[in-house]
Structure 1
Amino acid sequence: MDSQTRVYFPYVSPHDPCPPIRVKSYYVPPQLFIGFQPENLPQFSPMEALMHGTLWPALYSPYVPTGQRERRGEGHS
Structure 2
Amino acid sequence: MDSQTRVYFPYVSPFDPCPPIRVKSYSVPPELFIGFQPENLPQYSPMEALKRGVLWPALYSPYIPTGQRERGEGHHER
Pick the TM interval, shorter chain. 0.7 to 0.9
Matching residue of 2:66: 66
Q: What is the root-mean-square deviation of aligned Cα atoms in Å?
A: 1.1
Q: Distance in 2 between matches of 1:69 and 1:28?
A: 12
Q: Give the structure-1-normalised TM-score.
A: 0.87
Gaps of 5+ in 1: none
Matching residue's letter, 1:16: D
Q: Distance in 2 between matches of 1:57 and 1:29?
A: 13
Matching residue's letter, 1:68: Q
The ranges of structure 1 where at least 4 consecutive aligned residues each deviate by more than 6 angstroms after the TM superposition are: none
Gaps of 5+ in 2: 73-78
Number of paired residues? 72
Quote the sequence identity (%): 86
Q: Give the structure-2-normalised TM-score.
A: 0.86
